[in-house]
Structure 1
Amino acid sequence: MKILIVDDEAPIKDYIAHCIRESGADYEIVGSAASGVAALRIMEQQPADLVLADITMPRMDGIELLTQIRSRWPQATVVMLTCHDDFSFARSAMQRGAADYILKSEIEPHTMRDLLGRVVERRKREHPEQIVSQRISFAKFLDQVLEDPAADLLDRDTVRAHLMGYMLHDYFVCLFRYNKAVLDGLALANFPWIRRQWTLPLENGGIFVLVDFVCGMSAGEQQRRLAEFSARVRACTDEPVGISTVYHDEAAFKRAALDARRDQSRAFYRGADKQPRADVNDVDKEAMYKQLFVYRNNAITALSVRDWPAFRDQMDGLFALAGERQVAVGRLKRLLCFIAEMAADSEQATTVLLAQIVSAAHLEELRELFREFSEKLEKSGQRYSENIEMAVAYIRKHFRDNITLQDVAGAAFLNTEYFSRRFKKEVGVNFSEYLLTLRMQEAQRLLRTTALRVSDIAEQVGIPNVSYFTSVFKKQFGTTPAESRKH
């Protein structure tokens, strides 16, 4: 518990500080002030959990100070110090929100220890909901900060509000996936050079740690302590850990968080061998993400027609691009989860696959996961009901012709409306999308293996309108037919 002492008599302040130190290591004196005005300045810099304030002081007395603190820092506890054994003083203080009062003449190490114990118990009773609510609010704020692509500088007052009035000085950020061993290791470390630490859960199962150094440390000492912290965390887990450099401005809070996330991403792409790779140069992110989505769409297309070699080719391309450009790990995993939801043939299999994607510690682990999964799908044999198998076979045989939904429903011996619903449920895409996918795959094959003109290929795959064919092809593969042939 962090304590601020406020009294205009220096010997009394020193004696109170002595009694607090004698009460044990659970209590830390963060400052002392000779007036209410000075106390408020300290609270703005370093909010205390407990304020011990003299009632009678010049300029701003203890009662006015109490009123200001209760208004601005409602989570703080205030105990009044008085020389007067007069209940009217105590009543006035208690009416304004003081938690307790103590006569200065009664202050001794054992009475201070008892007082501090009562304050701790009171705070446990009164503040759990507020503390939990504040932590939830801070965690939501962190999720928004990490996902927001807007400017990387934040309003200082916004940051302080989420830190319950605390002002950051020299700080760093650490990110890792939830790991009890890491959390226990940090708790046991009890680093004396940490002035304040926040440990909060993120929406994606990650843990966010914000550490503020004690004042007065040199830059070199901060770097040594940062390395000490890093070594402690990384010794407890083989999963990627991200740690930012030291920052000195609250407005750069988002930069620190993103710095830690980039460091975690680099650890993810280094792989299990933990060999360092050079940082990726700045690239055209829009083009990169566009290509990732092309791979994703092509993989889903291959799934829908059960073309397993094509599926594996697309996934290999996706992983190669992600590794080369070191795509943000969270974004990569969300993209893979989308594919997994399309790929898994049962709710249970989907749940398992999604959990494996989220918990993967390295890129190679994800690559192997999808390779094994596609092999299982390929070996599982028939995936559709008998009627839909008949429909799929009919489409694959006649996709070059001008076939209709009614034609395929008839081949499956089902009425059109029921067939349409059943096909979408089992195959994952509707009839027209499936038909178009087959035509585009055949067009791509012809472009790469023949010298036929684009118009002739469009005719052969059942889309004689060249303009429409070109538009659909580009939407499907991200390039025009002519560009695809060059590659």
Structure 2
Amino acid sequence: MLKVMIVDDELPIREWIEYVIRETGLPVEIVGIAANGRDALECFRQHGPQLVFTDIKMPMMDGIELLRQIKLVVPRTMVVMLTSHNDFEYARDSLNYNADQFILKTEITKESLREIISGCMKKAGEQPVAVPVPKAASGDFIRFTPGELNQWIAQEGLAVPSGPYFILTYEAAPELGPLSVKLGERCFESFSLVIREHEWKQGYHAAVFYLPASSSRLYLYDVFEKVTGQMSNLLQRPIGTSGPVTGDLEFAEELSVSLLLHNMRFYMEDDTKKNPLVPDPPVPPVYQANAKAYHIWQDTLQKSFQEIIYEISSQRFHEAQSKIKLLLSYLETEHPPQIYQIRKIFREIINNYKLIALGQGFANTEKLCHAAISKLKNADNFREFKEHIYSFLSGSTISFLNTYSGYSDYVKTAIIRVRKDYAVIEKISDITDVLNINQEYFCRLFKNEVGISFNKYLTNYRLKIAEELLKNTDRKVSDIARQVGYQNLSYFSKIFKEKYDTNPYKYRAWDKE
């Protein structure tokens, strides 16, 4: 049972989170609900929750300090920061204290909390879903040799197999229920044991099979092919396979190879995946060497991730994009098998871009980032995965962040204000009064950095919005003019024609031809 604590100074938010958590139906215990960080810290010391949902801004002790104190006492505690659109600076500060995740209060749903809680359960070594586990699946065989496994099976009163063991690895499929039962019932000529998950292969299961004794190696592979085919039909997903596990070889070593070969398929093009379930040929030496180099891949991925997050948090977007491209090149060349972790890394990269963009007031950022994360999660191969990342980086919001990252703070703030309030800005003093800067100095600074005057930039942006409205809506031209900040229709038509060589009425008619 996972212990959960909820911390927020707003009663409706506390009650909503508690209600949604209970609606997930997951085996959790809410051990504390607090309205401020000080009371929450006392509750944490008494009950030791494994998962904490905490608001960022609270009286007495804020969420950042609560996060810091919790991570000092029990670093493995998962802390999820509850944020709003105005909490960007605070959210960025919480990165320094190893916040595990962020979630906007407006995005709290049964599905989002189920994902967070299930992830925490996996991290804590608990089962996200309460399902019956066969007795034979209750042992942890990862450090066993075949001989030691045979001893354990005999102690459990089960028949000791006479044939060799094989290992299959596959992505976790909680929607299918107790896989060990289904595999034992359906797989041809086999008895299956499901190895308990380990953090280094988070998101994956491994099954140990034994096959009937035979002097023919070809016969064993033929039977194993039938087993993998039936398992493929059951799981509807790729499978990694090992060779026979015999002698003093630990299952952990062959499990690494099995998982490696499973994830290598992620880097293959579609036409090489026509029949992914046929047992693999003998493992090339380079693959076995790479399996032993797992920790090198792990360290490289983690170091790259930390560098990219630092650049994004520092709003050095050009540097961040360069490092992202380097990471993609590394993945394409080295083929590290930690696909689950790679998906998670890029999800967090997108979330950090989202924090920056929300802090700058960009509209539709949440939807864009959510769509990008969903596409990365469902990408079947690396080519699709990389295309989705480049598509995200070339999107309007991220492209703009890249463009303005070289501007001074004054110019950045002015541009953001234009994009947000273009329709109501009447004069330069509307900007300079907020910036507390001399108008003449601001005009010179803006033109030097952007290349055109502020008034020209504002006009161009308004006309760009008007152009999109003319092309994509049926609103009256007069309504569009007012929407982008022009009360005088004649003046709007005049400046529109100066930019597009035709008036807005003819432009709309031409666009629809």
TM-score where L is the length of structure 1: 0.40
Q: TM-score, normalised by structure 2?
A: 0.39
- State the structure with more CA Rg: 1
